[in-house]
A and B are shown apart, each in its own frame.
Chain A
Amino acid sequence: MRWNTFRPFPANRVFLRVFGVFGSLLLAMAVLYGALMVPLQRDSLLKVLYSQASTVSRSIIQASSDAMLTDDFGFVVEHNLQVLQNNKSIQSVLIVPRRGTAISITTTGWEMLESDKAPIQPGDYENESFGIRQIPGTASTYRYITPIRFSGVSWGVMRIDFDTSDYLANINEMIRQIVLISLLSILIILPVGYFFALWLTRPIAIISNAASRVANGDLDAHVDVPRADEIGDLSRSFNQMVDALAENRQRLENVNLDLEIKVAERTQALDELNRTLDQRVRDEIAKRKEQEQLLIHQSRLAAMGEMIGAIAHQWRQPLNALSLVLQNIALQFEMGRLDQESMKRLKDKGEVMVMRMSTTIDDFRNFFKPNKTAKLFDLDTALRNAADLLDGLLRNHNISVSIQSEPGIQILGFGNEFSQVVLNILGNAKDALIAHHPAQPSIHIKVAQTAQHIEIRFEDNGGGMDETTLNKIFEPYFTTKEEGKGTGIGLYMSKMIIQNSMHGQLRAENIPGGACFRVTLPIHAAEEATAETDRTSAVPPAPTF
């Protein structure tokens, strides 16, 4: 769209409005100017007339004062004839004394009147009176009447009529000039306003037209407004905007095309997914169950391994003693000193050993036997029994265990499972102490009770854990131990037991020189069953193998 596409009367609304407002303002200003100026000028001219009348009257009275006081009316007539001759705007002067004859002087002559027959009387005018009067037979007249006083005493009254033709001519001339100026201004300013409005609105119309084309999808619409102002900037910005729109539209079309292809692919994949989703869900559930079974199995195996290890360790001493009994039997037999009494004493001794070994198996089997229902158990007893099970192993590594607890703290839950948790934590601490080799390896078990919770802290000086280990310590199959020495299941199962079975929490944190596993159990369970004490629950269950 070209700038030089000239139309003398563009039909766009902006032009019409701008031009209309411009013209209306102009006309309003002209009318307002006239409406204000004419009364102002009229008042101003009236003031001039008043000033002139006042001055003339004072001049006449001053010049004629002596003559008036001495009844020298000849002088009064002479003087006023001179005044009228020298001042063409004065039509007449009427002087009416309180006594004597009145004198009326006009431009064509003068006459003497009887005072009582004069048209004005001194007593009627204590103050000056003035204004434009319409006198029959004449044009409008400015009449000024003033009392004549000498030393405060009234002498008479004087009336001066002024010709208003100059005044009217000035008014008419002023109105004519105002009209002329207004018309001239309109004649000058209207074309200026026309070209101004055209100059202002035509580029707007061009841009508006182009914008409409763009709005209708024609991105080839460009404007050419070669101006170095904001409108020129606007046109250039508009062109840039249109170019950017075209580019973006092309880009959008490409993106849309890609999206359509991807949507088609995804739709196809989704259809396929929908078709196989049920099967996959079933597969995942089955896999999950299989993993859980595997985990349970592994947990059992681990427990069995631990139990077997513990049994083996417990059996080591009675087996040695039993071996010594057997060696004594053989030795005494070779030496011929195996008599009835010795045989019985050695047999009883061997039976004691075998009974101890059998008791050990029962102890372990009871300890690992899962509880079927939640029961109250004594926390202190449970902690000490679990520690006793590992006592031999810990002592072999010079690991000391201290328990700061008070008897009588009852916990509602599954005692054997809690014991498994304690065993797992102690076993984990034992492994860390063995790996870290502190000078005095130790494990401290501390029980603290608050109004709402019971907190059991297992603190060791085994060096603690790094950040990664600390974050993953309770994840299943996570272990830092060598291949074959750790399953990565113990702490995971411990956390599950504390959270799910006992509604508590198990956390791990580093402390100076080691690690701390913190078990927090709700105390309400203990309060609810204070009276119910099941000491047998603290007894380690029989192994479930």
Chain B
Amino acid sequence: MTSKHVRAWLAVVLLAISAGGLHAEPPPPMAIGFYTPVIRDIPRKDVEVSLRFWIEEMARSMKLTYKPVRFYDDFASLRRDFLDGEINFMVATAMGIVQYVPASAIADGFSGYKLADDHLVLVVRRESGIRTPADLAGKRVGLLDGDELSHIYLETLLMQAKGKLDWSRLGPISYEQRSSKLTHRLFFGQDDAALINRSGYEAALALNPQIGQKLQILDDYSFKSRSPHIGLFSTSISPEHRELIIQGGLSLNDTVRGQQVLEIYHADRMVRTPVSDLEPYWELLKTHRALKAASVTKRDKR
């Protein structure tokens, strides 16, 4: 996840707060939960300060009530508070949501959106000879630390290539917080392959064209999705309130103030994020579980 995504999500949060003040009946206090791996590219303290600053400003102008934004390092706590009603809007990784939150508890939301695709891509060193996931055997692989999608997707690729899950066939696995760091490790020959967000890779490539001479993306093995992060309401908030707040959030695209906010968070525009955006993740999770079950069955038969 890049800083642009995070800023987009921060904009979403602020817009959600401001939009809530427009409803005829006072909406319940906005209680936002923030899953910190979403903001892995931005210092957490910076996010806290900027988020609180904007929330306070918006709350004063729109006479909105709100609770302090909560930050979660583990998804279990986020899930608990979301289901218990302690928070009613969450910004989290899409893979985390499909893994831990029941679909019945989530409703459409909104978030900042970057027009360019931001897929999870498999990047390899050209000299490594890796052309398919099957070539990862014995290779050093880099993954985003704490990213559920990278972990599940790599397992899926490996199981699809070899028919079974065997981590021991890989070389050393390194974990890094940022995609750019993984890219640099590949560039300097510390890793042979890595699952990286495309935006992160392209950002590193823009800074040093030499990277393109040494690394390449295996597009056929990329995970296509709209965005790795998403903002969703709790179904505990009435559809009218949700819709009112969403419309208020989307209206930022048409105001000077809104453009300024989007610019700050490097989002191209504010978009509705339906629950259906999670479909690729559900499908991946479903495939992963199926492959894993088959792999277990094969191992048991042996």
B207 within 8 A of A: yes
B142 to chain A, nearest CB (A): 10
Interface flags, A101-118, vs B, CB<8A=1, else 0: 000000011111000000
Q: Interface with A: B164-172, B182-190, B221-229, which one?
A: B182-190
- Give residues 168-196 of B contacting A (CB, 8 Å): 178, 180-181, 184-185, 187-188, 190
Q: A72-B190, A74-B181, A74-B184 are in contact. Are A81 and B210 (CB under 8 A)?
A: no
Chain B residues in 8 Å Cβ range of A74? 181, 184-185, 187-188, 190
By the criterion CB–CB under 8 Å, are A109 and B206 in contact? Answer: yes
Inter-chain CA distance A110–B209, complex, in Å, is 9
A382 within 8 A of B: no
- Give residues 63-77 of A contacting B (CB, 8 Å): 71-75, 77
A528 within 8 A of B: no
B208 to chain A, nearest CB (A): 5
- Give residues 115-169 of B contacting A (CB, 8 Å): none
By the criterion CB–CB under 8 Å, are B188 and A110 in contact? Answer: no
- Give residues 45-96 of A contacting B (CB, 8 Å): 71-75, 77-78, 81
By the criterion CB–CB under 8 Å, are A78 and B208 in contact? Answer: no
Chain A residues in 8 Å Cβ range of B185? 74
Interface flags, A483-511, vs B, CB<8A=1, else 0: 00000000000000000000000000000
By the criterion CB–CB under 8 Å, are B178 and A78 in contact? Answer: yes
Output the nearest chain A residue to B182 by Cβ-Cβ distance.
A74
Chain B residues in 8 Å Cβ range of A77? 184
Chain B residues in 8 Å Cβ range of A78? 178, 180-181, 184
Output the nearest chain A residue to B207 by Cβ-Cβ distance.
A109
Q: A74-B188, A74-B190 are in contact. Are A81 and B180 (CB under 8 A)?
A: yes
Chain B residues in 8 Å Cβ range of A75? 181, 184
Output the nearest chain A residue to B185 by Cβ-Cβ distance.
A74
Inter-chain CA distance A205–B207, complex, in Å, is 79
A388 to chain B, nearest CB (A): 152
Chain A residues in 8 Å Cβ range of B190? 72, 74
By the criterion CB–CB under 8 Å, are B207 and A73 in contact? Answer: no
By the criterion CB–CB under 8 Å, are B210 and A112 in contact? Answer: yes
A432 to chain B, nearest CB (A): 137
B2 to chain A, nearest CB (A): 13
Output the nearest chain A residue to B187 by Cβ-Cβ distance.
A74
By the criterion CB–CB under 8 Å, are B208 and A109 in contact? Answer: yes
Chain B residues in 8 Å Cβ range of A110? 207-208
- Give residues 97-141 of A contacting B (CB, 8 Å): 108-112
By the criterion CB–CB under 8 Å, are B184 and A111 in contact? Answer: no
Chain B residues in 8 Å Cβ range of A81? 180, 207
Chain B residues in 8 Å Cβ range of A71? 188
Chain B residues in 8 Å Cβ range of A72? 188, 190
Chain B residues in 8 Å Cβ range of A111? 208, 210
Chain B residues in 8 Å Cβ range of A108? 207
Output the nearest chain B residue to A78 by Cβ-Cβ distance.
B181
Inter-chain CA distance A112–B189, complex, in Å, is 13
Inter-chain CA distance A81–B207, complex, in Å, is 9
Chain B residues in 8 Å Cβ range of A112? 208, 210
Inter-chain CA distance A109–B190, complex, in Å, is 21
Q: Which of B180, B206, B207, B210 has the most chain A CB within a 10 Å cutoff?
A: B207
Output the nearest chain B residue to A112 by Cβ-Cβ distance.
B210
Inter-chain CA distance A111–B214, complex, in Å, is 13
B114 to chain A, nearest CB (A): 19
A540 to chain B, nearest CB (A): 153
Chain A residues in 8 Å Cβ range of B180? 78, 81
Inter-chain CA distance A72–B178, complex, in Å, is 16
Output the nearest chain B residue to A71 by Cβ-Cβ distance.
B188
Inter-chain CA distance A77–B208, complex, in Å, is 11
Q: Which of B178, B185, B188, B206 has the most chain A CB within a 10 Å cutoff?
A: B188
Chain A residues in 8 Å Cβ range of B209? 109
B117 to chain A, nearest CB (A): 23
Chain A residues in 8 Å Cβ range of B210? 111-112
Chain A residues in 8 Å Cβ range of B208? 109-112
Interface flags, B88-127, vs A, CB<8A=1, else 0: 0000000000000000000000000000000000000000
B200 to chain A, nearest CB (A): 12
A91 to chain B, nearest CB (A): 15
Output the nearest chain A residue to B214 by Cβ-Cβ distance.
A112
Output the nearest chain A residue to B206 by Cβ-Cβ distance.
A109
Inter-chain CA distance A74–B185, complex, in Å, is 5
A405 to chain B, nearest CB (A): 142
Inter-chain CA distance A108–B209, complex, in Å, is 11
B55 to chain A, nearest CB (A): 25
Output the nearest chain B residue to A77 by Cβ-Cβ distance.
B184
B246 to chain A, nearest CB (A): 33
Output the nearest chain B residue to A85 by Cβ-Cβ distance.
B3
A411 to chain B, nearest CB (A): 141
Q: A81-B207, A110-B207, A111-B208 are in contact. Are A73 and B188 (CB under 8 A)?
A: yes
Nearest 9 A/B pairs, CB to CB: A74-B184, A109-B207, A74-B185, A73-B188, A74-B188, A110-B208, A78-B181, A77-B184, A109-B208
* Complex A-B: 19 CB contacts under 8 Å: A71-B188, A72-B190, A74-B181, A74-B184, A74-B185, A74-B190, A75-B184, A78-B178, A78-B184, A81-B207, A108-B207, A109-B207, A109-B208, A109-B209, A110-B207, A110-B208, A111-B210, A112-B208, A112-B210
Q: A81-B207, A108-B207 are in contact. List 11 more A-B contacts (CB 8 A).
A: A72-B190, A74-B185, A74-B187, A78-B178, A78-B180, A78-B184, A81-B180, A109-B206, A109-B207, A109-B209, A111-B208
